Structure 1
């Protein structure tokens, strides 16, 4: 009987090792073996690390270590002895005890047969369901080890797979690819680096997002485009120098589109006021926000100054320390109402006259007013270099007509130029295709057209006055 049991134990362990090559047989103790099972829940397990209550969702957890001992009378009259454990001890004791008892329960169910394969299969299924745990609380001392393990296992398994890059369409090993954190689309690192470096170099930071055409689409609804965080760009990897440029341009665009931001009155500085809404960049490696540039800035946030950066529109009723701003670059303390150096709480002041522009500023403003069309949504000046009059704002992605400034339906933008009711723009899609500089006397509509008419009559009045002066001279 003992020889039969020995044969069954030997045969079971050899069969098990052929299925699980990672099974380790103990040469010093016959019929003893160990096996580590991968723990990869179908849904990442939320783990709360106490006492900080810091929650991390882990896709992989340290393996379940199994130690098998097959006694002499196994499987005829006794079950195998199984000792499950984890290192570190993240699995609760009551779960480990339940898994240990399950081996004998299966043996009794099988009526005294070999049970190791069935037992291991059962544990693998339970591991996919996180052993029935919906959440887990662990001491914070385990956090780094568990988070690092999850990240390392995710990378190791990804590197072994093969993917078709969604850009170059070539099959690549996972070690040469990157999976986007938010949407899980996969691209080869070379394609990502070429595209993102080009976007950042040209200042087109609004396109530093997933390159998949299906990204953000769910049924008939499309989610807002989400830009990649500086932290994720470093992981691809994109050079730190490029990532810092990306973060600075992105922040600059936000500041310039925020009407609550006041800029330093010193002509040699022009830095923005300090604000918690747009904190100064210190370490891009810690910036894991992936917000969208298309998100609206809410001027009603606490501390906002009514009227934004226009001195004539700012609320002069702002009192006391609410008027105090500090430049983030030169540390000048100044008043947001009169733009003078800070004069204290109890001094009455008036907004600085908007005509107090330097000659250079005035010339720049005149050029912008004459040679650009404002976006109808965010008012950012846009200048056309070439092409048709269907424009897309680089700041907020609004579609509009360059000739009259009208908003265009993104799904049918050219209907505007095919509608006879739009007398000003009808069949004028390609007018001024050479660009703004070569537009010459092309007639605009909307605000820009009104300025053209006003400028024409101003010039005409000056011409008539000059003519009258010449006649008087004669």
Structure 2
């Protein structure tokens, strides 16, 4: 008897093997310290789409403490890679989770007053150790010392290095040393800011280019200039028999260091440190620019002073670079031509 159509006869069904995917490893790394960020950890993401780097919890904590120490200098919290301000709501969520909210509000109120309530010749002087603050006029020398009038504090402090002033002798030391600190810190801040942006050489409007070529037309003054070298079109290097133009300036850039590429993503064909992706190229370009600026500051003020400033303010750590990065000559070379290696 045939059992071909017998419903009681078991039939073999094709076997489907289900592959259970393994959990994906978290590949996020901090744009400042470059450590891998566990999935459960808090982090901030830069809102600048050309950067979009993330900052880990430890680096956020460093930024927050710097903000608490000097709110007027360190607000808003900014991305260490491109110096774009983080989303305010995201910052506040992190601060609430870390139980810093009361301290945050105590710092934000003086900031609000300083922007909304003070005259042009007034500034707020805040005690580094408690919420006490005073209003001072700025028509004389900038205030450097503050004696706190809070009954539970009473400390006299230097408003530049934010340290307690122990006595008159200590104050004299602060007067000579910390005024220099203020100047040096300004140099470093400017080096980081100018390295993260590009200024129009015609009107000094600062910004970051889009994903297109290095030929720039300023949105404010309509001046034309080269993003790579930062020169006006009429100042760009071209052949003697050519009229100055950005297109002529791109000719022979592969062999002439006075010329500039039209597209950053093409540099990888000559220098393997560069990516073929426009966004990565832009980030690498500004990294080189910033490190060149910081090296000039290091050469100007000396490594010892720069280390002291970093110990006091964490200013180098917060921007995502190390002293080795700054001193490494290769990091300051935009394009490595063949003769650079010889």
More helix by share: 2
Do these two structures clear the TM 0.5 threshold for a shared fold by scoring above it? no
TM (normalized to structure 1)? 0.23
Q: Which has the larger radius of gyration?
A: 1
